Structure 1
Amino acid sequence: MRTSEEIYHQVRWDPRLDPARFVLGVRRRGAGPKRIPLPEFTPGGDIPWHRVLFVEADGEVVWDRATGVDRVGTSAAGRVRDPRRLRAPFFTARTPHAWDPAAGRWRPADRGPRTPPAPPGTAPEVRVLTWNTLWDRYDSDRIDTAHRRPLLLAALAGSGADVIALQEVEAGLLEMLLAAPWVRDGYTLGTDPYGRDADEHGLLLLSRLPVREAAVHFLRPHKAVTAVVVTAAAGPLTVAATHLSSDHSAEGPARRQAELERLAEGLAGVAGDLVLLGDLNDWREGPDGPAAVLGLRDAWTEVHGPHDRTPTFDPGANPLAALASLSGRAARLDRVLPRGDGLRVTGAELLGDTPTPQGLYVSDHYGVAAVLRPGGDGDGDGDGDGGPTDPRAAVAPGTGTGGGTGTGGVRWPDDGPRTQTAVPGADPAADPAADPGDGDRAERIVRRVTEALGEGAVHLVGSRRTGCALPGADVDLVAALPGGTDGTDIALGLPSLRERLVAALPDAARPRQVTGARVPGLRFEADGLRVDLALVATGALDPAEAVDRRTELGGAAAVALGAVGDATAVRAAAGDRHAAFAALARRVKAWARARGLDSAPFGGLPGLAWSVLAARTVREAGDLPAGELLRHFFGTWAAWDWREPVTLDGSAGTAPSPSLSPHPSPNAAVTVLTPAAPVRSCTSQVGAGGRDLLVQELYRAWELLDQQVPAAGNGTGGINGTGGTGLWSALLSPPPMHRRHAAWAVLTVAPPPGEDFEGVLGAVRGRMRALLTALEEAGAADVHAWPRPVETGPALARYAVGLGRTPPGAAIVAALARQWGGGLPGVGVEVVADGAVPAPR
């Protein structure tokens, strides 16, 4: 039986569990146990762990000290019902509260079933309101709080706001709000009103829409952002509220800038439509303003235009503002900042900008109300209908930017939907879990390569060794050979090795030296399969011992031989559930390939990373049916905080070798560590945009499985190894690339006669991550390179790089392409409109 401390931390950090639905029963002297919502409990605080008697989730006891019950994580109670948006570690869950008239107190709110979507063609509006209420911690004898607060409550009650965000809330105002009939009858609070949140940061969110989640993040002492996810008629909407440092604080501007940057980082990890409300204490506008720093829009500007600077804090008109002002400057400090292509602003107005006949204002700040019309996130998974907003309807001619040899692209057909085969030679409607059946050919190749080399040791690595290869997967080999550890002997002997391979494998096609590899290597085709052979010189070590003693070789040799240990560790982790692991890994990799997430040179996750994720899922999920296991995979990793490194065994992981480059950075977007020494990140090529796309795609798959997979995982539409064709058609459908990107950089590889096409193509792939980084730095934060050519020929390959919703200008891309493509013969880049790009495949 685990301790209460272990249970607390599992609930707090396990993405499968919803902390807001857990309650701790704490022993009290002379009275019955006190129930404390888990998010309100402070580890290491006034209540020691031994006083925690039991843990409840959804009213069910899931851990009990007296009886030994411990079902947290195995019981369905407390499980995440919907993909969480306010996720740890940035956000700490809070329990929303609603008034219970029968009990005569505020209790945890029943979030109930999700509100159904609005009928087609409708998008009911959501009215939001932010107001800094002016607490009386300062100048209390001059601001007439006793008369102002009734005015504030009357204004709030009459505002018609669906969500209200208040700042500078203190005990007296909170008591009045909690007692107000209109609050009790119609609003849910974003926290426990009996807790300490209002004292800590002075923020309060009230919603008359159903609240699905609530959370808080402390930016610094007494400064925070609090948030709720509400269910509007058009779907979930995240509403966050904050109050940033003012110039009254020591080094106020620097503090505020740091808070803005931290806030931008946290909100970037929240999926879907979002609106931030609050007093940002920042009067700047345009590219230096808070909306730009946060990557959000400004509702007031969208309604009233960029030149409207109507102040929300006006010392010249409002005597309360004059008392608080250091400069006497009128400014627009209070903001409503939405995010989301489908979230339109239809109105914005001030409240409290007119005094009473006696000249009293409600606060030193005016309230700001805005009307939002949600209507989707603008990135659905359909193919579009070819209507006026479909980019395929209008195709601009390509503009050459890098001396490219392309012709401007091929239009998508207008007479029907596009199709895509997710795995070459496989039906996208079929379940890809089955063994590809070409293992005998791979074993034959290994045997013949071993005979050809005549010395050393040849090892099969990658998905062929772990047993989860897709049809047609490469045969990846590492050969340990005697020779100098700098690889010179092997490099000089490559022509001879190539001749021996051709002699041993008469059907070997196009054997050539690999360009840009960590160690020398050869690539060729044999028996209908592609073969990658890495060659490692072992120096004084016996090649037969090289794998076990690889760290003695260091650097590239250790990494190359580490692939043997990695594959062995993954297979060992699956243990007696290897069949379940292999089926899960094949399904996941087929899905990743279909959605363009599977290629490390193009900023995706390599096969080893997917295998680590699948093996860990099998280790932790227990004996689940196939359909449940796949859903568990997507649910776990969709809700994962990718700032946390992923290890095969779930531990903190062995520290990566500092001699490796690149090694995991604390700021890496995604870190999946290799399971065997030398430990290193196999995902350092994934940028922030790639991480965001990964999370979006994981959530899409999770939600799709929730809709189509029966609970038992073996129904007629499920995944049981024999059926589920409709489900696989949906999971492996092509992504909506035409809705994600307003323009594309089409990269053409067509070297002139006499040049080594394969060598140039290899160099292009090796440089691809550098091109993506340059485009990201130029402003294309959501750039995505499709990993496979959209057009091929005898000496031609064309790749499509989506430049996102706000692509850099053609001149900028041209300059980057010239610098990036220097020295690559016959390689060019051109910018084309979205509709001019052939369908990714």
Structure 2
Amino acid sequence: MQDVVGRLRFDATFDVRRFVVGYEERFAGVREAPLAEFLAGDNEIPWHRIFFIKAGELIVWDRRARIDLVFGSGDSPAADHAAIARACAPAPVAAPAPTRRGKLRAGPAVFEARPCFRFDPSRGAWLPVAATGLHEARAEALQVATYNVLFDLYEPEQLYSEARGPACAELLREREADIVALQEVTPRLWAELLAAPWLREGYYVSEGPDAAGLQPYGQVLLSRWPLALELHEFSARKRLVVGRLSLAGRRLAVAAVHLTSNRKADADDRRAEQLAVLVERLARADVDDALVLGDLNFGDGEEDQQLARAGLVDVWREVHPHHPGFTFDPEANPLARLASRTGKAARFDRAAALAGGGAGADRGHAVR
């Protein structure tokens, strides 16, 4: 790896200022920093904790994926200095946007239709379910849950992964929710969940056994009924999953979200853009009511006006107006205490409702 960094630093074809390293920060996962700062000694990052190097959106070198565009080692068929040089080229100067937040798009965000999966006992496998319009769910009430299960790609021994996986599965089994949104699901944890008898017997799922949409981690939806599924990719690592069905004669959309965390320098702008895409999708003519479930990565009072402007009602506040409902509490949770930057508790995980007819807010319950 030192050879790769040396080539990027001293080859005049490249601009070292355009490169970013992805490194592991203990208890906080993978973070990014400019390569130039790393070389200047401004970051105390040991070499073995660097997992990838990129220029813009181009992955130049990746330890886990065995990518090497500098020398062509690992699984890369050959070096590709031309691609690296293009990624290092100055970005074109864009005209200033009329708003301070978010990005302008030429048209509606693109959502790709995906099948949901159901376990077939006769074949002993999870199989895709063909979409045949919206399924009519027959239920007098709807219980939903959202749960960030915490990915464990780095130092899993510090996160007690062997114990947490079964504990997560048991918690979900006991909850018996009709629809569940999970965030930070890794392929390993997904395989454990798909093997659970209660999941095989009672749920349709948004991801197949190959876990193609969970690389390196991602969101999934579990549902008692088949969902018409759609996927929007904000980036290679950030996605939005939307499932639709019919409930009480109204078209309900359920969105599983995981917005950008504050560990990104431009987190506010990224979240604003992600929320804009979500709201745009929920406002289309094929949706009457909607539930938004997931990790919004901002606490009470920080960016709530965006939810209010979109007509999204915070379900927890409606049901428990006098209870903070913290889902990230450094005082109560030692792991949160290690990962926290501020030491303050927050309610990052939310359930929000958008009801065209005003009947949606009393149907959802956030569970952490």
Q: TM-score range by the shorter chain?
A: 0.5 to 0.7
CA distance in 2, matches of 1:108, 1:261: 30
Q: Is the 8 A contact 1:236 1:273 kept in 2?
A: yes
CA 1:349–1:227 in 2, change beyond 3 Å: closer, same or farther? Answer: closer
Q: Does 1:94 align with 2:110?
A: no
1:177 maps to: 193
Q: Is the 8 A contact 2:259 2:295 kept in 1?
A: yes
Greater helix percent: which structure?
A: 1
Q: Does 1:221 align with 2:241?
A: no
2:272 maps to: 257
- The aligned runs of 1:353-752 (5 Å cut-off) are 367=368
CA RMSD of aligned residues (A): 2.4
TM-superposed deviation, 1:111:
5.5
CA distance in 2, matches of 1:137, 1:258: 27
Q: Does 1:323 align with 2:338?
A: yes
CA distance in 2, matches of 1:227, 1:101: 27
Q: Does 1:105 align with 2:120?
A: no
Number of equivalenced pairs: 258
2:219 maps to: 203
User: In the alignment, residue 107 of structure 1 is paired with which amino acid?
Assistant: L
Q: Deviations over 1:322-366 (max 9, x none)?
A: 12211111001111011112224157464xxxxxxxxxxxxxxxx
Q: Does 1:314 align with 2:329?
A: yes
CA 1:236–1:202 in 2, change beyond 3 Å: closer, same or farther? Answer: same
Name the SS of the counterpart of 1:141 in structure 2: helix
CA distance in 2, matches of 1:259, 1:184: 32
TM-superposed deviation, 1:114:
6.3
Name the SS of the counterpart of 2:351 in structure 1: strand
CA distance in 2, matches of 1:133, 1:219: 21
CA 1:265–1:335 in 2, change beyond 3 Å: closer, same or farther? Answer: same
Name the SS of the counterpart of 1:167 in structure 2: strand
CA 1:216–1:116 in 2, change beyond 3 Å: closer, same or farther? Answer: closer
2:176 maps to: 160
TM-superposed deviation, 1:89:
5.2
Q: Does 1:334 align with 2:354?
A: no
CA 1:155–1:330 in 2, change beyond 3 Å: closer, same or farther? Answer: same
TM-superposed deviation, 1:271:
1.8
CA distance in 2, matches of 1:127, 1:111: 24
Q: Is the 8 A contact 1:209 1:231 kept in 2?
A: no
TM-superposed deviation, 1:154:
0.4
Q: Is the 8 A contact 1:264 1:293 kept in 2?
A: no
Task: Calculate the TM-score normalised by the size of structure 2.
Answer: 0.64
Q: Is the 8 A contact 2:144 2:364 kept in 1?
A: no
Q: Deviations over 1:55-84 (max 9, x none)?
A: xxxxxxxxxxxxxxxxxxxxxxxxxxxxxx
Greater strand percent: which structure?
A: 2
Q: Is the 8 A contact 2:315 2:366 kept in 1?
A: no
Q: Is the 8 A contact 1:273 1:343 kept in 2?
A: yes
CA 1:162–1:100 in 2, change beyond 3 Å: closer, same or farther? Answer: same
Name the SS of the counterpart of 1:192 in structure 2: coil
Name the SS of the counterpart of 2:313 in structure 1: coil
Q: Does 1:242 align with 2:242?
A: no
CA distance in 2, matches of 1:227, 1:138: 29
CA 1:136–1:289 in 2, change beyond 3 Å: closer, same or farther? Answer: farther
Name the SS of the counterpart of 1:93 in structure 2: strand
Q: Deviations over 1:756-808 (max 9, x none)?
A: xxxxxxxxxxxxxxxxxxxxxxxxxxxxxxxxxxxxxxxxxxxxxxxxxxxxx
Name the SS of the counterpart of 1:242 in structure 2: strand
Aligned sequence identity (%): 37
CA distance in 1, matches of 2:222, 2:137: 22
Name the SS of the counterpart of 2:245 in structure 1: strand
Name the SS of the counterpart of 2:330 in structure 1: coil
CA distance in 2, matches of 1:201, 1:218: 13
Q: Deviations over 1:380-399 (max 9, x none)?
A: xxxxxxxxxxxxxxxxxxxx
TM-superposed deviation, 1:96:
0.8
User: In the alignment, residue 342 of structure 1 is paired with which amino acid?
Assistant: A
Q: Is the 8 A contact 2:118 2:205 kept in 1?
A: yes
TM superposition outliers: structure 1 runs of 4+ over 4 Å: 110-118
CA distance in 2, matches of 1:189, 1:110: 13
CA 1:235–1:266 in 2, change beyond 3 Å: closer, same or farther? Answer: closer
1:343 maps to: 360
- The aligned runs of 1:725-804 (5 Å cut-off) are none
Q: Deviations over 1:9-62 (max 9, x none)?
A: xxxxxxxxxxxxxxxxxxxxxxxxxxxxxxxxxxxxxxxxxxxxxxxxxxxxxx
CA distance in 2, matches of 1:145, 1:125: 34
Q: Is the 8 A contact 2:142 2:178 kept in 1?
A: yes
Name the SS of the counterpart of 1:154 in structure 2: helix
CA distance in 1, matches of 2:252, 2:207: 17
User: In the alignment, residue 303 of structure 1 is paired with which amino acid?
Assistant: V
Query: Which one scores higher on RCO, CA 8 angstroms, separation ≥ 6?
Result: 2
CA 1:286–1:330 in 2, change beyond 3 Å: closer, same or farther? Answer: closer
User: In the alignment, residue 362 of structure 2 is paired with which amino acid?
Assistant: V
CA distance in 2, matches of 1:251, 1:116: 41
Q: Deviations over 1:137-182 (max 9, x none)?
A: 2442311010011111000011010011000000110001111111
CA distance in 2, matches of 1:192, 1:89: 24
TM-superposed deviation, 1:224:
1.4
Q: Is the 8 A contact 1:209 1:232 kept in 2?
A: no
1:144 maps to: 160
Q: Is the 8 A contact 1:201 1:224 kept in 2?
A: no
Larger Rg: 1
CA 1:172–1:293 in 2, change beyond 3 Å: closer, same or farther? Answer: farther
2:291 maps to: 275
User: In the alignment, residue 318 of structure 2 is paired with which amino acid?
Assistant: E
CA 1:236–1:258 in 2, change beyond 3 Å: closer, same or farther? Answer: closer
User: In the alignment, residue 250 of structure 1 is paired with which amino acid?
Assistant: A
CA distance in 2, matches of 1:285, 1:163: 27
CA distance in 1, matches of 2:137, 2:177: 21
Q: Which runs of 5+ in 2 are unaligned?
A: 1-107
Q: Deviations over 1:477-504 (max 9, x none)?
A: xxxxxxxxxxxxxxxxxxxxxxxxxxxx
CA distance in 2, matches of 1:260, 1:205: 19
Q: Is the 8 A contact 1:94 1:192 kept in 2?
A: no
Q: Is the 8 A contact 2:327 2:347 kept in 1?
A: yes
Q: Is the 8 A contact 2:112 2:230 kept in 1?
A: yes
CA 1:137–1:290 in 2, change beyond 3 Å: closer, same or farther? Answer: farther
Q: Does 1:298 align with 2:314?
A: yes
Task: Calculate the TM-score normalised by the size of structure 1.
Answer: 0.29
Q: Is the 8 A contact 1:216 1:224 kept in 2?
A: yes
CA distance in 2, matches of 1:347, 1:195: 28
TM-superposed deviation, 1:201:
5.1
Q: Is the 8 A contact 1:190 1:227 kept in 2?
A: no
Q: Is the 8 A contact 2:313 2:361 kept in 1?
A: no
Q: Which runs of 5+ in 1 are unaligned?
A: 1-87, 351-366, 368-841
TM-superposed deviation, 1:197:
0.6
CA distance in 2, matches of 1:314, 1:145: 20
2:202 maps to: 186
CA 1:342–1:262 in 2, change beyond 3 Å: closer, same or farther? Answer: same
Q: Is the 8 A contact 2:136 2:246 kept in 1?
A: no
- The aligned runs of 1:60-139 (5 Å cut-off) are 90-109=110-129, 124-139=140-155
User: In the alignment, residue 274 of structure 2 is paired with which amino acid?
Assistant: E
Name the SS of the counterpart of 1:292 in structure 2: helix
Q: Is the 8 A contact 2:145 2:365 kept in 1?
A: no
CA 1:158–1:133 in 2, change beyond 3 Å: closer, same or farther? Answer: same
CA distance in 1, matches of 2:197, 2:296: 30
CA 1:98–1:346 in 2, change beyond 3 Å: closer, same or farther? Answer: closer
